[in-house]
Amino acid sequence: MSPHASAAANSASPGAGAPGPMLPVLRPGQIDIMIPTFNESSHIEETVRNALTVGPVYVLDSLSTDGTQEIARRAGATVVEHPFENYSRQKNWGLDNLPFEGEWVFILDADERITPGLREEVLSVAVRGPETVGFFVNRVVIFMGREIRHGGLYPSWNLRFFRRGRCRYEDRAVHEHMMAEGPTDYLRDEMLHIRRESISEYIKKHIRYADLESEEWVKRKLGQDAGAKARHLFRDLLRYRQWLRREVWPVTPMRPVLRFVYMYLARLGFLDGRAGVHLGLLMASYEYMISLLYKDKLGAIREGRVKPPGA
């Protein structure tokens, strides 16, 4: 997904306008699927057809230029376009404005798939209607055609399935986490994260992520980390991980080297073969890019060449 600031929000489903204020509708047991997209023409048809086995699908598109919208419509999705600001705000806009009708929402990325076992599990939960407001789903990365089960990338728990109106993303540009207003639990079955883009596309995407992440580091340095205000809503383990990632990790020396050693040796990434080697090296490079961008941005602020974030 990439920032685009041209067009006003509008519905792209045939013959429909932008979604206005919706009357409150709630269908107990129904699951609505939200898929955020930008230029996902190679994935979106398969993703929509997969998601439709669970419930109605809403594609929240950031003004794609590769025909993602029309492909998604033909596959059976309702498509709504909205200019991209950042990842958390885009998703929160969708949660506030898409015409959901179900009691439950599942957020799915365009390169993810719901496995048959997970489908049966979420449908069962929705019908059962427990007091739990959100469920973490484990995600298996498929990289270079191989399931990645080591390197610190598995298990990978994400709060993706929740009661409508009870969960929301923290205000963070990238690597955002969802916060729940109530008890959460974990589902047994997994979803797939299929990384089948070219290495060139992978690197371009992570350059963008590094730029956004370095911006968050700058905000933290200047005391403007909005996400910190809501971290008390994270569960204990996630709160501890976020503290390490956002307070300790940015000031740790030799991060790229440590990242590779951690992934490839300490977390047994070598057991994932060739894919494990390449992932370790790519993520080490990602850490290096974040560090360089962070130092460059702080230097520019101190020299007065750019204004601090929010100024």
pLDDT in tens, 142-190: 999 999 999 999 999 999 999 999 999 988 877 888 999 999 999 999 9
Q: Among 171, 195, 219, where does a domain finish?
A: 195
Q: For residue 4, is it within any domain?
A: no
Q: Are residues 38 and 162 in the same domain?
A: yes
Q: Are residues 17 and 70 in the same domain?
A: yes
Q: Are residues 41 and 171 in the same domain?
A: yes
Question: In whole numbers, what is the pLDDT of the chain averaged over residues?
Answer: 87
CATH number of residue 40's parent domain: 3.90.550.10
Cβ density class 135-166: b for 16+ within 10 Å, e for less: bbbbbbbbbeeeebebbbbbebbbbbbbbbeb
Which among 21, 8, 167 has a CA at the least distance from the CA of 97?
21
Q: Are residues 153 and 166 in the same domain?
A: yes
Give the residue numbers spanning the domain of 263.
199-302
pLDDT higher than threshold 70 for residue 120: yes
pTM of the predicted structure, to 2 decimals: 0.82
pLDDT higher than threshold 60 for residue 24: no
Q: Among 168, 195, 222, where does a domain finish?
A: 195
- Which H helix or E strand runs over 143? strand 134-143
Q: Among 135, 170, 195, where does a domain finish?
A: 195
Look at residue 14 in the predicted model and tell me its pLDDT.
36
Average pLDDT over residues 48-58: 98
pLDDT higher than threshold 90 for residue 244: no
Q: For residue 209, is it within any domain?
A: yes
Q: Are residues 25 and 163 in the same domain?
A: yes
Per-residue pLDDT tens for 280-295?
999 999 999 999 999 9
Q: Are residues 246 and 150 in the same domain?
A: no
Question: Domains in the chain: how many in total?
Answer: 2
Average pLDDT over residues 236-244: 62
Q: For residue 310, is it within any domain?
A: no
